[in-house]
Amino acid sequence: MGPFGAATLLLLATFYLGALFGVDPAKSLQSVHRVLTFLIFFLVGAMGLGLPQVRKLLLGLTYGAAFCGLWGIYQHLFMDKGRVASFGGHIMIFGGLLMTALLVQAFHVVRSPRNPWHWTVAGILGLALLYNGTRGAWVGLAVGLLGLLLCFRRRWIPPALALAVASYFLLPTSYQLLVRSIWDPTIRYTNTERVLMWKAGWRMSQDHPAFGIGHDNVFQTYPGYRLPEAVEEQVPHLHNNFVQVLVQNGWVGFLAYLGWIGTYFAVALRRRRWPKEFGDWNLALTCAFLTGLVWGLTEWTFSHQFMNVQFFLLGLQANLWRQGRTS
């Protein structure tokens, strides 16, 4: 159990409180049970596996993602696909999975920089993520990689930054515009549109402060709070984990979400004399959590299968915490 397990259960409970006290309890209760899959994957990940088995599972994650990435690259180059989604058919989900897998694979590179296979898999994942075009996943990966280098290879930071800048000028013009649109709202309308969604979300939270509007109710509620300058008349979610939790789970859920994040980092970063490999994998998985947290600033990641993977990794990390304390 432990403090993080308790914080996870408390966060999930606020989804049900929001559903019960929201604008349409019947609709919310038909779909809110889906959040229990997060808990299921967390428990599966936390099963009593030794570190060698955990390493094999994470290698399976990166190899499987690379296989899907190869198909995505083929789609882009030979099937005239724009943003690739591989076999799943959902662009955002594929982007999040590639982001997480590439961060884990980067740790393999950091641990064994002379292994050409690690670099090859990382290159496949990186190219697939580029063709996927999920800008929030790019930003999340950049922050996670910076954290990884700060933890393990600080001397690599200057050349990594230089390589990133140089790579930008080698990209096709369309991708340069996509990169610049991350910070320039005049290039792509989705930046300003998302800000308008967040403003509407704030107005919604003011009318439903305690427990929110309930799970899965944004689509029917948003038109009444939509700002006049917004382009989209209806949206399924608000493209920000923090805003979405505040709106659908209320301030009770929002504070539980902040507590969940704070508890995670308090447990993950506490100083203990663990064996080195346990400590290294713990830091790597902490950086993987950070990538998802940053991506959640521009996406509602709790709405799709990406969270199943993230909670599975959290379960693996909780397993490492338990083993590290007893080693």
Q: Which tens digits make up the pLDDT trace of 29-41?
A: 988 988 888 888 9
Q: How many CB atoms lie within 10 A of CB 153?
A: 15
CA–CA separation, 258 vs 11, rounded Å?
Answer: 9
Length of the chain: 327
For the residues 261-277, what does the mean pLDDT come to? 85
CA–CA separation, 307 vs 97, rounded Å?
Answer: 10
Report the half-sphere exposure of 301 (CA within 13 A, side-chain side): 29
CA–CA separation, 92 vs 105, rounded Å?
Answer: 20
Any idea which of 6-20, 97-111, 302-316 has the lowest mean pLDDT?
302-316
pTM assigned to the model: 0.92
| Residue 123 confidence (pLDDT) | 96
For the residues 132-154, what does the mean pLDDT come to? 94
- Percent of the chain scoring above 70 in pLDDT: 96
| Residue 136 confidence (pLDDT) | 92
| Residue 67 confidence (pLDDT) | 95
Residue with tokens 């808990």: 39
Q: Contact at 8 Å (CB) between 71 and 114?
A: no
| Residue 274 confidence (pLDDT) | 74
Q: How many CB atoms lie within 10 A of CB 107?
A: 24
Residue 29 dihedral angles phi and psi, to the nearest 5°: -70, -15
3-class secondary structure, 90: coil
For the residues 158-164, what does the mean pLDDT come to? 93
DSSP letter (8 states) at residue 56: H
Q: How many CB atoms lie within 10 A of CB 17?
A: 20
Greater confidence (109 vs 192) lies with 109
Computed over every residue of the chain, the mean pLDDT equals 90
For the residues 163-175, what does the mean pLDDT come to? 90
CA–CA separation, 38 vs 58, rounded Å?
Answer: 18
Q: Contact at 8 Å (CB) between 209 and 251?
A: yes
Greater confidence (304 vs 53) lies with 53
CA–CA separation, 23 vs 248, rounded Å?
Answer: 10
| Residue 183 confidence (pLDDT) | 79
For the residues 37-63, what does the mean pLDDT come to? 90
For the residues 39-66, what does the mean pLDDT come to? 90
Q: Where are the domains of the chain?
A: 2-326
CA–CA separation, 283 vs 277, rounded Å?
Answer: 10
pLDDT band at residue 59 under the 50/70/90 scheme = very high
Does the pLDDT value for residue 272 go beyond 80? Answer: no
| Residue 303 confidence (pLDDT) | 75
Can you say whether residue 115 is alpha, beta or left, with left for phi > 0 and alpha for psi between -120 and 50 degrees? Answer: beta
pLDDT band at residue 189 under the 50/70/90 scheme = low
pLDDT band at residue 181 under the 50/70/90 scheme = confident
* CA quadruple 171, 173, 178, 182: dihedral sign: positive
Amino acid at the residue 144: G
Any idea which of 12-16, 254-258, 323-327 has the lowest mean pLDDT?
323-327
